[in-house]
Amino acid sequence: MSEGANHGKHYHHGRTPAAWTGSTIALIGFLIGAVGFLMGMNWVLFWIGIVVVLAGAVVGGVMHKMGLGQA
């Protein structure tokens, strides 16, 4: 193959600030939910974890729209 050949689009496989931030927030949410689930079904803590997971998706999406994610 020639060195100047165009090999198509380069994919980062989620190695962007938006992906890392959204995934980290979602992981924290899952941990909060798991702790709430294992502590004798603490429903308030469980639902707080669910809200944090959803917030991670929103934050990741907003950061992507700001140009910090992969196009």
Residue 43 lies inside a defined structural domain of this protein: yes
Radius of gyration of the chain (CA): 18
**Full domain range(s) for residue 49:** 17-66
The pTM score is 0.79
Residue 71 lies inside a defined structural domain of this protein: no
In the 3-class helix/strand/coil scheme, how is the chain assigned residue by residue? CCCCCCCCCCCCCCCCHHHHHHHHHHHHHHHHHHHHHHCCCCHHHHHHHHHHHHHHHHHHHHHHHHHHCCC
User: Tokens 């959204």 sit at which residue?
Assistant: 22
User: Per-10-residue mean pLDDT for the chain, 71 residues long?
Assistant: 59 82 97 94 95 97 91 71
Residue 6 lies inside a defined structural domain of this protein: no
Residue 25 lies inside a defined structural domain of this protein: yes
pLDDT of residue 15: 86
Q: Looking at the 3D structure of the chain, how many domains does it have?
A: 1
Residue 2 lies inside a defined structural domain of this protein: no
pLDDT of residue 12: 66
